[in-house]
Amino acid sequence: MKALKQKKLLRKLLLQHRSNNRLWVSLLALCVGTTLLLLAVMIWWNFAEVLSGKRDKDSLGSTFLTIGKNITKETMKVKGSSLFTPKEIEIMKGAPQVQSVGELTSNRFPVWAELNTSVSFQTQMFVEGVPDEFIDKKPDDWRWEAGSRQVPIIISSDFLNLYNYGFALSQNLPQLSPQTIQSLAFDLKIGDGLNTELYTAHIVGFSDRINSVLVPQSFIEYGNNKFAPVKLFAPSRLIVKVKDPSDKNFVDFLKTRDYTTNSEQLRWNKLRSVIDITASATGILAILLMGISTLVFILFIELTIAKAAASLSLLLQLGYSPRYLRMFMFRRFLPLVFIALSLAMGIAFIVQARAAEALKVQNLELATEPGWPVWTALGISAFILFAFVSGAIYKAMRVRS
């Protein structure tokens, strides 16, 4: 009870002259500034996370790029100029932002597909193989062994759309849903002349990552070794997992070597610049607002202590130690800073959760909680603010004592 009365007395003597309006305005500005700073860091970090696909998804569709060599009039005259040599593949593995490189192996033998339905359909086609770890939607039955007559196939989702909305309409052929085409089996003939083999193929999935007709790597290797007239199996395309495809060094690497990829997959290079500028501008504005609000808050503390100079001298004469009085002021003002920072972090949590929920509809995955850079920014801000406020209180109380 005595301690409670003592605290009431100290509040009355030391804090009677403070202006609550100025106090709350400075704290509100501090909260807004901290919130803007956390949001700026959050925007930058989330964009980097989405690009790098760290949550086991393609995110913006740009984590995996299919790389080829640019075909020119000069290179057309040189046989094999579009193929990647082992040395070039090794250089690609060491390129900026590149995490792993896979080879797209094409068939070097004839492949025919025939669909025996009410509408007979036969066409020559190409197939490619790629290491399993680069396939975005690998089915459970994605395997083939020598001697098996069943060949699973994955086709690009774009190919199905081209067939349905282009080829089928122009040729008066039936349009096919993904479920329908997966239920159909067709004959797959490989080889030429008398040296042929017949298989039953069925489409087991669709890829949003690779624009090709994929068969298991083991099937491609078997066909090339047995039916290819020339044992030249160097890849003409590479599939590359890139940490950040918008990185300028990576883009310059492709341009310098005259490599091509889907320009749409590099569109995030421009967006990255916009994001960086926006995040930087917001961060600078946030730091300025935090600096001004901190200055106002410190001036408010110094003014409050200055107005309580007479009461402070009286308390010292009554036997209160300067350290005890400083701790009293610390306990009055530092928790207010903590509340402002906590409110800012709470807003950041809500924004992150809402953003993750909204982007999930677009098949993009974000963490539902702010990442470590946001926590780091909050920790650094809290340390600086507490240091400045504590220093201001200590200095003002020392002068008055």
DSSP labels for 260-274? E--GGGGTHHHHHHH
User: Sorting pLDDT into bands at 50, 70 and 90, what band is 7?
Assistant: low
Tokens of 114: 């025939």
Do 173 and 187 reside in the same domain of the chain? Answer: yes
Instruction: Return d(Cα 160, Cα 172) in angstroms, integer.
Output: 16
Residue 266 lies in a domain: no
Asked whether the beta carbons of 151 and 219 are under 8 A apart, the reply is: yes
- State the amino acid at position 234 in one-letter form: A
Do 44 and 75 reside in the same domain of the chain? Answer: no
pLDDT of 229 reads: 72
Q: Which helix (H) or strand (E) holds 267?
A: none
CB-count burial class (<10 Å; 0-12, 13-18, 19+) for 285 = middle
Asked whether the beta carbons of 185 and 201 are under 8 A apart, the reply is: yes
pLDDT of 101 reads: 92
Residue length, the chain? 401
CA distances from 26 to 71, 328, 360 (A): 63, 21, 37
Residue ranges making up the domain that contains 285? 2-58+271-400
User: Sorting pLDDT into bands at 50, 70 and 90, what band is 386?
Assistant: confident
User: Sorting pLDDT into bands at 50, 70 and 90, what band is 212?
Assistant: confident
Q: Which helix (H) or strand (E) holds 45?
A: helix 20-52
Do 109 and 215 reside in the same domain of the chain? Answer: yes
Task: Decide: pTM greater than 0.85.
Answer: no
Q: Which helix (H) or strand (E) holds 235?
A: none
Quick: pLDDT tens for 314-352. 666 666 667 777 777 777 778 888 888 899 899 989 988
Do 34 and 78 reside in the same domain of the chain? Answer: no
The answer on pLDDT for 80 being more than 60 is yes
Closest CA to 129 of 226, 61, 218, 192: 218
Do 47 and 91 reside in the same domain of the chain? Answer: no
Quick: pLDDT tens for 108-135. 888 988 876 655 667 788 899 998 888 8
Residue 258 lies in a domain: no
Asked whether the beta carbons of 189 and 174 are under 8 A apart, the reply is: no
pLDDT of 214 reads: 92
Instruction: Return d(Cα 207, Cα 58) in angstroms, integer.
Output: 12
Per-residue pLDDT, averaged over 65-88, amounts to 82
Quick: pLDDT tens for 259-314. 888 665 566 556 666 777 777 777 787 788 777 777 777 777 777 666 666 666 66
Q: How many helices (DSSP H) and strands (DSSP E) are in the chain?
A: 13, 11
Residue 257 lies in a domain: no
Quick: pLDDT tens for 167-194. 788 877 778 888 888 888 888 899 887 7
Strands 259-260, 64-69: parallel, antiparallel or unpaired by DSSP? antiparallel
- State the amino acid at position 168 in one-letter form: A
The answer on pLDDT for 62 being more than 50 is no
Instruction: Return d(Cα 160, Cα 7) in angstroms, integer.
Output: 77
The answer on pLDDT for 152 being more than 90 is yes
Per-residue pLDDT, averaged over 209-234, amounts to 84
Which residues, 6 or more positions from 341, have their beta carbon under 8 angstroms from its beta carbon? Answer: 31, 34, 378, 381, 382, 385
pLDDT of 312 reads: 61
Do 192 and 89 reside in the same domain of the chain? Answer: yes
Per-residue pLDDT, averaged over 58-67, amounts to 64
Instruction: Return d(Cα 133, Cα 155) in angstroms, integer.
Output: 16
Residue 355 lies in a domain: yes
Using DSSP, state whether 155 is helix, strand or coil. strand
Do 304 and 388 reside in the same domain of the chain? Answer: yes
Do 135 and 219 reside in the same domain of the chain? Answer: yes
pLDDT of 215 reads: 93
Asked whether the beta carbons of 400 and 313 are under 8 A apart, the reply is: yes
Residues 26, 297, 390, 289: what is their CA dihedral angle, to the nearest 10 degrees? 60
DSSP 215: -
Residue 262 lies in a domain: no
pLDDT of 125 reads: 87
Per-residue pLDDT, averaged over 359-365, amounts to 71
User: Sorting pLDDT into bands at 50, 70 and 90, what band is 153?
Assistant: very high
Query: Rounded to the nearest 5°, which phi and psi values hold at 229?
Result: -70, -30
pLDDT of 61 reads: 43
Tokens of 192: 């030429």
Tokens of 385: 């603010």
Do 45 and 73 reside in the same domain of the chain? Answer: no
Residue 251 lies in a domain: no
pLDDT of 56 reads: 45
CA–centroid distance for 32 within its chain: 26
Residue 31 lies in a domain: yes
Ranking 97-101, 139-143, 233-237, 321-325 by mean pLDDT, the lowest is 321-325
Do 163 and 298 reside in the same domain of the chain? Answer: no
Sign of the CA dihedral running 129, 362, 158, 242: negative
Choice between 248 and 267, residue whose per-residue pLDDT is larger: 248
Total domains, the chain: 2
Do 88 and 192 reside in the same domain of the chain? Answer: yes
Which residues, 6 or more positions from 35, have their beta carbon under 8 angstroms from its beta carbon? Answer: 286, 343, 344, 347, 348
pLDDT of 6 reads: 54
Residue 193 lies in a domain: yes
Half-sphere exposure of 178 (CA within 13 A, CB side): 11
When the pLDDT of each residue in the chain is averaged and rounded to a whole number, the result is: 78
Q: What percent of the chain has pLDDT over 70?
A: 77
pLDDT of 238 reads: 92
The answer on pLDDT for 100 being more than 80 is yes
Do 131 and 229 reside in the same domain of the chain? Answer: yes
